[in-house]
C-alpha cells in the first residue's frame, strides 16, 4: 500500500502522521522504549492534541533485535501469533550503553543506536564492521483511510481503516530477496508485494506461500511478526526504502544479522523453527495418477508395472483427488466402485515391490455430499458464520465447509479420519489447498483469534495437525507431507511443492524462481510438478523438466488432465533420447546421489537452509552476480545445476570464482564467468565445486533406499588435504567422515563396505552422454 503521491504529496484520501522525533528514551527489561510525537515539541503546548508512536526496541537473542511500533496500546492484540523460538530461546547477553553518538542497545553481534535530538535509529554490526539499515526521517508513521476531517471522527473507527507503517533504508546497490514462494523476479526491488495466501497459480503476483521474511545482500534479514496481511513497497514508494504496513494499531518486526546469509537463515530458523528431517524413501521418484484423470486399480497397476518394465524405479505412488467419489471431497473414504478393498490393494502394491510407500490427496474442505460433512457440522467441527450457520460456499466443492482447527475436538476428529487412512496402508499425505480462508462474517471456535490473521495462519495449523498425526503414527523424522500452502514456521512440517504451473518453459522458469524464494525462508525441501501441471507438455518440455525435477530435493510426476508416465508423452519412444530413457537415467542418477543428498539434507535442516533449490547467493554472497541468478541453483554445498529452458538444448549459466568440473564430462572450467553449452536430454550443466569429496552410491541401485556405504564411488574434485564428506546411512545414522589425505588418497575408508572405488580426477563417466554435450563458449 502506498501512502504517498510521489515525495511531496500524501496519497489521495489518506491522512498520514509521522514520528518526527524521539522525545524520550526509557530503559526496559529487554531494551528501550521510545516516545515519538508526530510533531517536534518546542513548548509544553505542543504536547497537546497530537498523536504519538511508541517504538519498543528489544534484544531477543544473539544477532536479533525486535522493533514494535504502536499507536494506541489499548487495542487487543488478538491471535493467532507465530510460534517463535519453538525449540527454546538461546541465552545471550544484552546491554545498553550511552555515548556521544546516542543510546545503543546491543544483542550479541547486532547493535541499534538512537541518536538524540532527531529521529535516527541505526542498525549496525556490533563490532562496527558494517552498517545494515536505518529508520530515518519520516520512516515511521500511522495513517487513516479515508482522511478524517475532524479529530472527533476518530472516536468511532468503524468507518475508517487505521494503518501502521515503517520504512527501513535501502543502500546503493542493495537487493531484497525472499518473501515466500514468489514467481516473479528474484530481486524484489521495485515491487509492491502483498503477503496474502492465494490460489493464483505460478504466473501472477499471488503466492500460495507468503513468508513475512526477506533477506538483504547487505548481511541482514527482516522478519515481520504479523500473521495477517502485510503489504510491502520494496523500493516502490520510496526508491531508497522498504516500507512495511499493516492494518491495525501495532506493527512488530525483527532485524536479524549474520556475517553470512547462511548465518542469517540459521538465526531466522531458530526464531521461527527449523525444518524437520524427512525419511530417505521420500527422496525417490513419486508418481501421481494426476488430477482429473480417470483411474482405478487396474490403471494404477499398469502405471507401476509399466515403469518397472522400463527400468524406472518408483518409490512412492500418489493417489490424487479421485480416490474419493465426485462431490465428496474430502470425506476420507475410497471410491468403493473403483477401489473396493483399498487396504488389500495397497498391501499388494507394497508386497509386489512396485512401490515402497503410498500417498493420498486431501484438503481441509469438507463437501456437504460426503460422509464426513453431517458429523462435522452437527458437532461444531466446521467454521461458522456469525449467526451460527456453518460457513459454506460452492467454490471448489458443492456446499463445502472448512475444518475449524482452532477447535481441539475438530482436530481430534480430523486426526481420527487420518488414522483410518493410515490403517489402510497410507504412508504420506498431500495437504492441498488451505489458501481460500474467509475473513468476513465468520466466527472461529477460538474467539480470541482475528479472522484476518487466520487467513494466512490457517496453513500453519492445517499442516501442523496432519504432520503431527503422521509423526504420531510413524515416529519422529518419518512424517512426510506434500503441502501447497504455507506461512512463516510451516517449514517445520515438510515438504512443500510449487503449485499449479503450466506445461511451458516459462512456467518452468517461474517454478525455479518460486523454489529459490521459498528456500530463503527456512524451507529445506521443495518439489514441483514435473512436466507442468496444466496442459499437455510436448516431449522436449517433459524431458527438460524431468532433468530439473530430479535435481530438486523431492521429485514428483504430476499433471492435471493428462498422465505423466513417459510413454504417454511421446508414443513410447524407447530410444536413448526418448522420454522413457530420459526419465530412467535421471531417476537412476538421483538414486546414486543419495549418499550425498541425505548428508546434505541433514546439514540443511540444522542450518535452516534449502537443500535444493539453494540460491547461489547463499554459497557465494561476496559475488555480486550471485544475487541476481534466478535460472540456476546449488544442490547442497557442492553441486551447481542450470536447467535448460530452450528447445534447442542451448543454455547459458554462470560459474563463480574457482575451478568447476562437469559432472558428466570431467571437463574443468574456471570462474568467475558466463558459459554456454548445448545438451542432449540426458544432461544439463551440472558442475562440481572445487575441493569437493562427492560420494556416489553404487551403479545400478534401484530406488532411494539402499546401503549408502556399500560399493561407494568416492569422487575427488581438485581436493586439498582435509577436504571432507560425511556419510549417513539411509536411516539417518552418521557413519563417519571420509577425508582427503596429502597423497590424494582418502582416510577413514573403513566405514565403507564392499568394493569402494576412488576417482581422483572427477568420476567414472558415461562416454555416450559426453558425446551429446557441446561447449559453445
Mind listing the pLDDT tens digit for each residue in 639-686? 999 999 999 999 999 999 999 999 999 999 999 999 999 999 999 999
Mean pLDDT of the chain: 97
The CA-based diameter of the chain, rounded to the nearest angstrom, is 87
**Which residues have a Cβ under 8 Å from the Cβ of 300 and sit 6 or more positions away?**
289, 317, 319, 345, 349
pLDDT of residue 93: 86
**pTM score above 0.85:** yes
Instruction: Return the C-alpha cell found at 683.
Output: 544432461
Instruction: Return the C-alpha cell found at 418.
Output: 487420518
Whole-number Cα distances in Å, 693 to 601, 710, 739? 16, 17, 8
Q: Residue 608 — very low, low, confident or very high, per pLDDT cuts 50/70/90?
A: very high
CATH architecture of 1-76+93-168: Sandwich (2.60)
pLDDT of residue 656: 98
- CATH 3.20.20.80 domain span(s) along the chain: 280-363+407-436+447-607
Q: Tell me: the pLDDT tens digits for 525-561?
A: 999 999 999 999 999 999 999 999 999 999 999 999 9
Fold for the domain defined by 618-775:
Immunoglobulin-like (2.60.40)
pLDDT of residue 742: 84
Span 321-345, average pLDDT: 97
Q: Residue 57 — very low, low, confident or very high, per pLDDT cuts 50/70/90?
A: very high
Q: Residue 489 — very low, low, confident or very high, per pLDDT cuts 50/70/90?
A: very high
Residue 601 φ/ψ, nearest 5 degrees:
-65, -40
| Geometric angle at alpha carbon 662, from 661 and 663, rounded to 5° | 110
- CATH 2.60.40.1760 domain span(s) along the chain: 1-76+93-168
pLDDT of residue 565: 98
Q: Tell me: the pLDDT tens digits for 436-457?
A: 999 999 999 999 999 999 999 9
Give the HSE-up count for residue 739: Cα atoms under 13 Å, Cβ half-sphere: 8
Span 316-339, average pLDDT: 97
Q: Tell me: the pLDDT tens digits for 158-207?
A: 999 999 999 999 999 999 999 999 999 999 999 999 999 999 999 999 99
Write the secondary structure of 398-439 as one string of H (helix), E (strand) and C (coil).
CCEEEECCCCHHHHHHHHHHHHHHHHCCCCEEEECCCCCCCC
Give the distance, in angstroms, between the CA of residue 48 and the centroid of all CA atoms in the same chain. 48
Span 360-371, average pLDDT: 96
At the top level of CATH, which class does the domain 280-363+407-436+447-607 belong to?
A: alpha beta
Residue corresponding to grid cell 460433512:
373
Say if residue 434's pLDDT is above 80.
yes
Q: Residue 745 — very low, low, confident or very high, per pLDDT cuts 50/70/90?
A: confident
SS3 label, residue 619: helix
CA distance 96 to 621: 31
User: Which sequence positions are flagged as catalytic?
Assistant: 432, 435, 500
pLDDT of residue 321: 97
pLDDT of residue 748: 84
Rg of the chain taking only CA atoms, in angstroms: 27
CA distance 486 to 494: 10
Decide: 525 and 556 in contact? Cβ < 8 Å: no
pLDDT of residue 19: 97
Cis check: omega of the bond before 146, within 30 degrees of 0: yes
Amino acid at each position: 500500500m502506498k501512502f504517498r503521491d510521489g515525495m511531496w504529496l500524501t496519497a489521495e484520501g489518506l491522512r498520514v502522521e509521522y514520528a518526527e522525533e524521539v522525545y524520550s528514551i526509557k530503559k526496559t527489561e529487554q531494551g528501550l522504549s521510545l516516545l515519538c510525537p508526530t510533531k517536534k515539541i518546542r513548548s509544553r503546548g505542543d504536547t497537546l492534541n497530537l498523536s504519538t508512536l511508541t517504538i519498543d526496541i528489544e534484544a531477543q537473542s544473539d544477532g536479533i533485535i525486535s522493533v514494535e511500533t504502536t499507536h494506541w496500546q489499548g487495542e487487543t492484540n488478538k491471535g493467532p501469533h507465530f510460534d517463535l523460538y519453538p525449540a527454546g530461546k538461546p541465552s545471550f547477553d544484552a546491554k545498553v550503553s550511552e555515548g556521544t553518538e546516542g543510546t545503543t542497545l546491543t544483542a550479541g553481534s547486532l547493535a541499534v543506536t538512537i541518536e538524540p535530538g532527531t529521529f535516527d535509529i541505526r542498525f549496525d554490526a556490533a563490532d562496527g564492521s558494517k552498517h545494515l539499515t536505518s529508520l530515518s526521517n519520516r520512516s515511521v508513521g500511522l495513517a487513516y483511510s479515508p482522511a478524517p476531517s475532524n479529530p472527533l471522527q476518530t472516536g468511532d473507527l468503524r468507518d475508517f481503516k487505521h494503518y501502521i507503517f515503517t520504512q527501513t533504508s535501502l543502500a546503493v546497490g542493495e537487493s531484497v530477496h525472499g518473501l515466500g514462494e514468489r514467481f516473479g523476479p528474484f530481486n524484489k526491488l521495485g515491487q509492491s508485494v502483498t503477503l496474502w495466501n492465494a490460489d493464483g497459480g505460478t504466473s501472477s503476483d499471488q503466492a500460495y506461500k507468503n513468508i513475512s521474511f526477506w533477506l538483504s545482500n547487505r548481511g541482514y534479514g527482516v522478519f515481520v511478526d504479523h500473521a495477517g496481511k502485510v503489504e510491502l513497497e520494496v523500493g516502490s514508494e520510496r526508491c531508497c526504502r522498504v516500507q512495511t504496513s499493516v492494518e491495525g494499531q501495532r506493527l512488530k518486526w525483527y532485524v536479524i544479522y549474520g556475517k553470512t546469509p547462511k548465518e542469517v537463515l540459521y538465526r531466522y530458523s531458530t526464531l521461527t523453527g527449523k525444518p524437520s528431517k524427512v525419511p530417505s524413501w521420500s527422496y525417490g521418484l513419486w508418481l501421481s495418477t494426476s488430477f482429473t484423470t480417470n483411474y482405478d486399480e487396474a490403471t494404477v497397476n499398469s502405471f507401476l508395472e509399466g515403469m518397472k518394465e522400463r527400468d524406472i524405479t518408483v518409490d512412492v505412488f500418489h493417489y490424487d483427488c479421485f480416490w474419493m467419489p465426485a462431490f465428496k471431497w474430502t470425506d476420507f473414504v475410497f471410491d468403493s466402485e473403483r477401489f473396493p478393498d483399498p487396504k488389500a490393494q495397497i498391501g499388494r502394491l507394497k508386497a509386489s515391490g512396485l512401490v515402497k510407500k503410498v500417498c493420498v490427496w486431501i484438503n481441509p474442505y469438507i463437501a456437504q455430499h460426503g460422509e464426513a460433512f453431517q458429523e462435522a457440522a452437527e458437532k461444531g467441527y466446521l467454521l461458522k458464520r456469525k449467526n451460527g450457520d456453518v460457513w459454506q460456499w460452492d467454490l471448489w466443492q458443492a456446499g463445502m465447509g472448512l475444518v475449524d482447527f482452532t477447535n481441539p475436538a475438530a482436530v481430534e476428529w480430523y486426526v481420527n479420519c487420518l488414522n483410518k487412512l493410515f490403517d489402510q496402508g497410507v504412508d504420506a499425505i498431500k495437504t492441498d489447498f488451505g489458501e481460500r480462508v474467509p475473513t468476513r462474517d465468520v466466527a472461529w471456535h477460538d474467539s480470541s483469534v482475528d479472522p484476518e490473521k487466520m487467513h494466512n495462519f490457517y496453513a500453519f495449523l492445517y499442516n501442523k495437525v496432519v504432520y503431527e498425526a503422521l509423526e504420531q503414527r510413524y515416529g519422529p523424522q518419518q512424517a512426510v507431507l506434500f503441502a501447497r500452502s504455507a506461512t512463516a514456521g510451516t517449514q517445520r512440517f515438510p515438504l512443500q511443492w510449487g503449485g499449479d504451473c503450466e506445461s511451458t518453459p516459462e512456467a518452468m522458469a517461474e517454478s525455479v524462481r518460486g523454489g529459490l524464494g521459498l528456500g530463503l525462508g527456512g524451507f529445506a525441501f521443495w518439489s514441483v510438478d514435473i512436466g507442468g501441471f496444466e496442459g499437455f507438455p510436448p516431449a522436449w518440455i517433459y524431458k527438460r523438466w524431468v532433468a530439473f525435477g530430479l535435481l530438486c530435493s523431492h521429485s514428483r510426476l504430476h499433471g492435471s488432465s493428462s498422465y505423466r508416465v513417459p510413454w504417454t508423452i511421446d508414443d513410447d519412444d524407447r530410444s536413448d533420447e526418448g522420454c522413457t530413457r530420459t526419465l530412467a537415467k535421471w531417476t537412476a542418477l538421483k538414486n546414486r546421489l543419495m549418499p550425498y543428498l541425505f548428508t546434505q539434507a541433514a546439514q540443511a535442516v540444522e542450518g535452516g537452509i534449502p537443500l535444493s533449490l539453494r540460491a547461489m547467493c547463499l554459497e557465494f554472497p561476496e559475488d555480486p552476480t550471485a544475487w541476481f541468478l534466478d535460472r540456476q541453483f546449488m544442490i547442497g554445498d557442492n553441486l551447481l545445476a542450470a536447467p535448460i529452458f530452450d528447445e534447442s538444448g542451448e543454455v547459458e549459466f554462470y560459474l563463480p570464482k574457482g575451478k568447476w568440473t562437469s559432472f558428466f564430462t570431467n571437463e574443468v572450467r574456471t570462474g568467475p564467468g558466463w558459459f554456454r553449452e548445448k545438451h542432449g536430454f540426458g544432461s544439463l550443466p551440472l558442475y562440481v565445486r572445487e575441493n569437493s569429496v562427492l560420494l556416489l552410491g553404487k551403479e545400478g541401485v534401484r530406488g532411494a533406499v539402499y546401503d549408502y556405504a556399500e560399493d561407494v564411488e568416492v569422487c575427488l574434485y581438485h581436493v586439498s588435504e582435509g577436504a571432507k564428506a560425511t556419510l549417513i546411512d539411509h536411516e539417518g545414522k552418521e557413519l563417519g567422515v571420509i577425508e582427503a589425505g596429502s597423497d590424494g588418497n582418502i582416510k577413514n575408508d573403513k566405514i565403507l563396505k564392499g568394493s569402494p572405488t576412488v576417482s581422483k580426477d572427477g568420476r567414472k563417466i558415461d562416454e555416450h552422454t559426453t558425446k551429446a554435450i557441446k561447449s559453445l563458449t
